[in-house]
A and B are shown apart, each in its own frame.
Chain A
Amino acid sequence: DAGVTQSPTHLIKTRGQQVTLRCSPKSGHDTVSWYQQALGQGPQFIFQYYEEEERQRGNFPDRFSGHQFPNYSSELNVNALLLGDSALYLCASSPRPGSPYEQYFGPGTRLTVT
């Protein structure tokens, strides 16, 4: 059983560019959440997708957008990249939104903005 997978592993972009990160949830999970972990910080919630819709959103600007596909995989898009967007981006999947059940995390995508 494959766990949560993310691609790419590492990415280097220039200020002002756009980036797309991808996530495939654990088998049987239909809810995907995205987190940003900046250096020295804990993971910060970006948003959650369920039934192909954004259900919850953290305190992130509209430059951060996402999508969920019918197969439950998800993308995180960031437009007009800033240096401060450099971080580890984690994807987590769970059986349903709002449940106390565990979120299973992927290994993350390390984004560097120069």
Chain B
Amino acid sequence: ILNVEQSPQSLHVQEGDSTNFTCSFPSSNFYALHWYRWETAKSPEALFVMTLNGDEKKKGRISATLNTKEGYSYLYIKGSQPEDSATYLCAFNTGNQFYFGTGTSLTVIP
């Protein structure tokens, strides 16, 4: 069983603050790293898929980086808004299976 760890487990920030989370994964058997945004009572929504070491992806105020050699990915949110409140999941893809972390729960306080 592969271990994918996310930190912090939860986070409360003020509206307008920038924040970041970490996803750690094994450096072997890497195929892709996925980030999902999951609001309560909704389906997880894909944010990014990254496949190459050094990848950087951006969607609006959210961006992500990938380091496959050391086994980590960062997700950044710039100028957090209340609508960013959600659980952010990362998933390590070996090409055969997805291994998910337990997520980072973000609450943005207006």
Contacts and interface: CB of A to CB of B under 8 A. Distances in A.
Interface of A: 3-4, 33, 35, 40-45, 48, 56, 58-59, 90, 97-98, 100-108
B28 interface: no
A105 B43 contact: yes
Interface of B: 1, 4, 6, 31-32, 34, 36, 41-44, 46, 49, 51, 89, 91, 93, 95-103
A107 B41 contact: yes
Contact of B98 (A103, A106, A107): A103
B99 A45 contact: yes
A79 to B, nearest CB: 23
Contacts of B49: 100-102
Contacts of A58: 97
A107 B102 contact: no
B32 A100 contact: yes
Contacts of A100: 31-32, 49, 51, 93, 95
Contacts of A98: 31, 95-96
A84 to B, nearest CB: 17
Q: Determine which residue in A42, A45, A90, A101 has the highest number of CB atoms from chain B within 10 A of its CB, and name it.
A: A42
Nearest to A3: B43
